[in-house]
Amino acid sequence: MIASVVGVVEGSYNYFAELETASKCLEWVKDHMALDEINIYLEKICVSETNESIYVNLYDFMMEEIKDVPAGSHSVIFTPWLHGNRCPFEDPNARGMFFNIRLETGKRDMIHAVIEGICYHLRWQLEAQDKKLETSKTIRFVGGGALSSLTCRTIADILGRDIETIENPQNAGALGAAVVVAVGLGILKGIEEAERLIKVREVYHPDLKNKNLHDRNFQVFKSLYKNNRKAFRRLNQRI
């Protein structure tokens, strides 16, 4: 299901494809897979002799720890449906899973697979939108996830599109609201002036070698729902 609301510019619409749990998946990973490090990584300090940094933010620590995991997470796939799903399929019974774990699979592979699983689902949503209207070849990525270069590179590789980020991407919603208010008050002439105020900070280009690997994994990712839909319903529907 893809929702739409009337845009602030006459004749325009905003389209929404919702994933019930994206950042919540990372929060789950933090709480259940990485929290054993919390007593070490509470503060950010610099030890002058070794110049060793200790991270105040456990998310920063996780991103640092998984940065060397190769694309594809050693063929481990995660599905981010921890609270059902809305788009491109609507199913409150869908759930998350780690698929294709083996003896060599470690915590870093699994955390990395969570990032990729979220991005695979975003690609699925983008494909659904492309069936109705042509979407941009360049994607503006905002929100807290855009603070991580690893996430930006991963989503570029999986979507096969250029990814743009801006300064303080976690505040993009507030900045957009301020632009709308400024137009309403006559401070700005139109929404198009936002382009002058909101500058691109960095552009991430897809790595075609990684994309080929992700293309394979993406097909498996989609099949995990189709092949387990009845099992999800049997296990999770209310009796």
Q: Give 98-145 pLDDT, tens digit per residue.
A: 999 999 999 999 999 999 999 999 999 999 999 888 888 999 999 888
Rounded CA gap, 42 and 118, in Å? 27
Question: Per the domain annotation, does 48 fall within a domain?
Answer: no
Cβ of 175: how many Cβ atoms within 10 Å? 17
Question: Per the domain annotation, does 60 fall within a domain?
Answer: no
Question: Per the domain annotation, does 73 fall within a domain?
Answer: yes
Rounded CA gap, 37 and 34, in Å? 6
- State the pLDDT confidence band at 36, using cuts at 50, 70 and 90: low
pTM for the whole thing?
0.88
Question: Per the domain annotation, does 43 fall within a domain?
Answer: no
Q: What is the pLDDT of residue 202?
A: 96
* Residue 195 belongs to domain spanning: 20-36+68-236
First to last CA, the chain: 26
Closest CA to 140 of 113, 116, 173: 173
Beta strand pairing status for 138-140 and 162-166? parallel
DSSP reduced 3-state for 141 = coil
User: Could you give the angle at the alpha carbon of 71 between the alpha carbons of 67 and 76, nearest 5°?
Assistant: 100
The secondary structure element, H or E, covering residue 46 is strand 46-47
68 has a pLDDT exceeding 90: yes
Closest CA to 23 of 66, 109, 89, 83: 83
Q: Give 72-87 pLDDT, tens digit per residue.
A: 999 999 999 999 999 9
CA torsion angle 164 165 169 173 (round to 10) = -20
Question: Per the domain annotation, does 28 fall within a domain?
Answer: yes
Q: What integer best gives the mean pLDDT of the chain?
A: 88
Question: Per the domain annotation, does 63 fall within a domain?
Answer: no
How many structural domains does the chain have? 1
Token look-up 């990973």 returns 29
Question: Per the domain annotation, does 96 fall within a domain?
Answer: yes
Q: Give 176-227 pLDDT, tens digit per residue.
A: 899 989 988 999 888 888 888 888 999 999 999 999 999 999 999 999 999 9
Question: Per the domain annotation, does 11 fall within a domain?
Answer: no
CATH code, 85 = 3.30.420.40
